[in-house]
Amino acid sequence: MLYNVVMGFFDKIKEYRKMVSQVERSIYGEKQDYLEIYERNLQLEKEIETRTNELNVANKRMLTLQHIWDMMNSSTPLENVLEKVVNSIHGELGYVHCAIIRKLKDEDGDYMQVAAQSHDSAIARVNKIIGAPPIQTRRLAFDPDGIYADTIKNRKIVQTHDLGGTLKYVIPDLTDKQAKDAATNQPCKSLIIIPLCPLNKEFGWLCVFTSREELADAETDFLSLFAQQIEMSITITDLFLAVKEQAVTDSLTGLYNRRFFEENLKREVTRAKRQNQPFSIIGLDLDFLKKINDEHGHAYGDLAIKTVADVLKSNARSIDLPARMGGEEFNVLLPGIDSKGAMIAAERIRKAIESQKLDVVGQITASVGVATFFEHTDNVEELLELTDQAMYTSKHNGRNQVTLAKPISETSWQEVAINAFLEILSKRKIPIPKEISKELKDKLKNTDDMSKDTLYTVADILTSTYNPMHNNGAVKSKVLLATSLAKRFDLPKNEVDNLRIAILLYDIGNLMLPHELLQKTTPLTEKEKSHIKEHPIIAAREILKPISNIQDIIPIIENHHENWDGTGYPKNLSQEQIPLTSQIILIIDTYFALIEHRPYRAKLSPEDAVKVIQNDAGKKWNKTLVQEFITLLDIVQ
């Protein structure tokens, strides 16, 4: 009996142990299941995070490509397109730095030059290490056996970790220390070079500086796609520019434009000399356009301009060439017509314009000038000048009349400017190398026809001696823009001529300042700023005052840094105390400075430069001057 009880007790214990084991196994199994689920969730979360990051990167890449596509389908100049491209890659995709480098060629052979680069601290650091001039303005070396040549020859993407060596490759005169300093202690780990070959032509390279050591296949594919879009952008922009260059008509009036007029004028000069036959030019300026715009709005100003154009079309012979030269100025080329016939044609045009009655505006009139080749001069530039003078005589004698040109009885502004330059160079008034001085004097002395282009070239060369980032051709653009702006304010001819000479000479005082001060990449000290502010006085008093025939130019130059609100220098003049010609120089100088590279900043686009000028309307400049300047830019660009 007892035995049975004991055995039953042990059986119960075994049964309980078995049940406990089952429970333990069940709990352990559930624990394992929970662990597996937890680990799978962790893995899934990581995968979701990875895929989300990949999706974000893909979205950014697609948006960047979309930005390029939008620019490609606009009339944006190539230079601006490339600037926006590199800044998009840098900003939206997180690269350390990005640049587009062009392959170029001149008489000295192949070389490279930065076409666009992102605005970031990385390039600012490199420029500080290598010193002036900054890398974006340098002529970079091209080695036909180097990495860039290999990349573009084989049309392949290359990644290199030798940042210092690559930099020294394009700037051979760098010291080893400079190259090493530029490549160390900075976030960039490698450079990716992607060739750009639109239409299979060697344009250059997209250079991407990244903090990643290795380049993933997906990134290689994307950069290849990106390069293709840039190549398409280059092709489209080049085609647009080619079409624009070929355009011969003015969009507002349908008349021929300035370019077409000047090209045909050259051909007419050749024909006239060959056949010993005269031709005439009628110059016409619509009266009171500024008043029409101010009182009725620019839409009515445009209507008045188009009305004049219609009159010119209806009164022109089939061989005549009427053209809009810009703003409210028109020219008509009359082949085979002497001054007598040209005066009859000009009077007919004047009366036809006077007879027009426009809604809201009412009657419009024009001031007209006439000059004839051979009869007045056999120099085409002088002929245009005489036409201009005759037109201005009509304007200042009461408008709505025709004036026949008279031979120049006094020294032309070109001759005054040439003589001034010769005296400055001959008497060594400025510290430039003797060989440059001799070259410039030879150019000036051999200018038989007082060519404006020679003056522009001399002024460009002098400016480049203290500003290596100066764009050749800028002086001519400044003179033409200043002249057109002065005419909008009906300045007399002598003041316009003085302005032309002042534009050529206003910054010559910079030649007397230390080169390292003008090329400084860091902020100027107060003492340095004070030194810079001396350049108008230096130009006016030390360089130009001893030259007898340009005394009327000196006040213009001396005051060209005076601000409308009285905060300028050197005399703190304000408003009407400042000569209008000085204000014109200031606004034009500021605009061209903004769209050029400077050691301390990258250049601005023309649109951004205009915004800067608009922000200072009423402070640096008369608001009316700013308005007229911007209107004029819209016409000439």
pLDDT, tens only, 476-491: 888 888 888 888 888 8
Which residues fall within 8 angstroms of residue 451, CB to CB, at 6 or more apart?
Answer: 381, 414
Q: Find which of 19-28, 91-100, 263-272, 587-596 is predicted with most confidence, using mean pLDDT.
A: 263-272
User: Rounded to whole angstroms, how far apart are CA atoms 481 and 484?
Assistant: 5
Alpha carbon 370 to its chain's center: 36
Indicate the residue type of 249: T
Give the pLDDT confidence score for residue 100 in this predicted structure.
92
Q: Is the dihedral of CA 593, 597, 598, 604 positive or negative?
A: positive
Tell how far CA 130 is from the center of its chain: 25
pTM above 0.85, yes or no: no
pLDDT at residue 13 above 50? yes
The two structure tokens encoding residue 329: 């100025």
With residue 196 as reference, give the H or E element that holds it.
Answer: strand 190-196
- Return phi, psi of residue 143, to 5°: -100, 115
Q: Supply the mean pLDDT for the chain.
A: 81
pLDDT computed for residue 119 by the predictor: 83
Instruction: Give dist(CA 85, CA 203) in Å, integer.
Output: 16
Element (H, E) at 602: none
78-246 matches 258-404 in fold: no
- Phi, psi dihedral angles at 403 (to 5 degrees): -125, 135
Instruction: To the nearest 10°, report the CA torsion of 5, 10, 16, 18.
Output: -140
Identify the helix (H) or strand (E) that includes residue 453: helix 452-466
DSSP string, 300-333: HHHHHHHHHHHHHHHT--TT-EEEEEETTEEEEE
Q: What is the pLDDT of residue 411?
A: 54
Burial (Cβ within 10 Å: 0-12, 13-18, ≥19) of residue 507 = buried
Q: Output the furthest CA–CA distance in the chain (Å, rounded).
A: 157
Look at residue 73 in the predicted model and tell me its pLDDT. Answer: 47
- Whether domain 78-246 has CATH 3.30.450.40: the reply is yes
Q: How far are the Cα atoms of 59, 467, 537 from residue 513, in angstroms, in the given order?
A: 52, 11, 12
Question: What CATH number was assigned to the domain covering residues 258-404?
Answer: 3.30.70.270
402 falls in which pLDDT band (50, 70, 90)? Answer: very high
Is residue 479 within 8 A of residue 486, CB to CB? The reply is no
Distance CA 171, CA 132 (A): 12
> Residue 553's pLDDT is what?
84
pLDDT digit string (tens) for 313-369? Answer: 999 988 999 999 988 999 999 999 999 999 999 999 999 999 999 989 999 999 999
Strand partners of residue 66 = none
Q: Read off the tokens for 418.
A: 């040439």
Mean pLDDT of 383-401: 86
Burial of 162 (0-12, 13-18, 19+ CB in 10 A): middle
Q: Which phi and psi (to 5°) does residue 324 adopt?
A: -95, 120
Is the pLDDT reported for residue 286 higher than 50?
A: yes
- 499 pLDDT more than 80: yes
Question: What is the residue extent of each domain of the chain?
Answer: 78-246, 258-404, 413-636
Among 240-249, 291-300, 363-372, the range scoring the smallest mean pLDDT is 240-249
Gap between the Cα atoms of 338 and 334, Å rounded: 9
Q: Which residues are within 8 A (CB) of 224 and not within 5 positions of it... i.e. 6 or more apart? A: 157, 194
516 pLDDT exceeds 80?
A: no
DSSP assignment string, 543-564: IITT-GGGTTTHHHHHTTT--T
Angle of helix 452-466 relative to helix 474-488, nearest 10 degrees, comes to 120
Mapping DSSP to helix (H, G, I), strand (E, B) and coil, where does residue 121 land?
A: helix
| Three state DSSP letters for 101-131 | EEEEEECCEEEEEEEEECCCHHHHHHHHHHC
**Residue found by looking up tokens 């330059």 in the block:** 421
Please, are residues 550 and 420 in contact by the beta-carbon 8 Å criterion?
Answer: yes
Is the pLDDT confidence value at 439 over 90?
Answer: no
- Average pLDDT for 387-395: 85
Report the C-alpha gap between 598 and 521 in whole angstroms.
Answer: 8
Fold entry, domain 413-636: Hypothetical protein af1432 (1.10.3210)
* Amino acid identity for residue 455 in this structure: L
H or E element at residue 30? helix 2-72
**Residue 364 dihedral angles phi and psi, to the nearest 5°:** -120, 155
Q: What are phi and psi of 255, to 5 degrees?
A: -75, 165
Give the best-scoring range by mean pLDDT among 70-74, 213-217, 620-624.
620-624
